[in-house]
Amino acid sequence: MRVALISDVHGNLPALRAVLADIAAAEAEATWCLGDLVGYGAQPDECVALAAEACDLCLVGNHDLVAIDRLSAAEFSPAAAAAALWTRERIGEDAVRFLSQLDPARPDGAIGLYHASPRDPIWEYVLSELVADACMHAMDARVGAIGHSHVALCFERRDGRVNGQQAPSGTEADLSSGEWLLNPGAVGQPRDGDSRAAWLLLDLERWTADWRRVEYPIDEATAAIRAAGLPASLADRLYYGQ
């Protein structure tokens, strides 16, 4: 089974459309979203509606939970909090209903799925080998997938030792042995220096992973952010992948 993993859409409709078109061209048989459909961008309802239609499985992320008033924005940066509260004030009933039925983790499938981490599926950032090692101890699955950090990453544990690296476009991994924790990167707000929208193609029969990036009309996304009166930094950073 060929599965597309996406995460961290953050209300960026042009990026989501581009990624879903790329997934269709790759002939993935299913699309799984690891959460944060809303947050920084200006088109939350549209992104939730499109994901609800296109994704076979969705998790809920911390920004989603703030938007539906199930989590405080107190731990967010000022710009993130402003966007989260803007979203909470404007998000539609259909989007709230969809997000409210989602969980932040699905640990019991073919691979373990978590928005943030196996130890804390809502808040923990997995950006180091030390944290990845602890998270692998906390999950039952041999292979796990996480989002939340907005960085495409690949962690492998073999013979008790964890090795991790960023996973730029074109990175491939053989998952047939060892333990793994994979991050597809962000659709809507990448933070690894590559402004293109990110996603990950998994083949669960051959046990391979292929990290991919796709161009999208960034100007369209930034224009929507500015028109909404959201912090300008949320638009500017899209051009730099930061």
Give residue 132's domain range.
2-239
Average pLDDT rounded to a whole number, residues 144-167: 96
What would the pLDDT profile of 77-125 be if each residue is shown by its tens digit? 999 999 999 999 999 999 999 999 999 999 998 899 999 999 999 999 9
What would the pLDDT profile of 25-55 be if each residue is shown by its tens digit? 999 999 999 999 999 999 999 999 999 999 9
As for how many domains the chain has, the answer is 1
Q: Which of 105, 118, 186 is nearest to 150 (CA)?
A: 186
- CATH number, residue 13: 3.60.21.10
Q: What is the pTM of this model?
A: 0.96
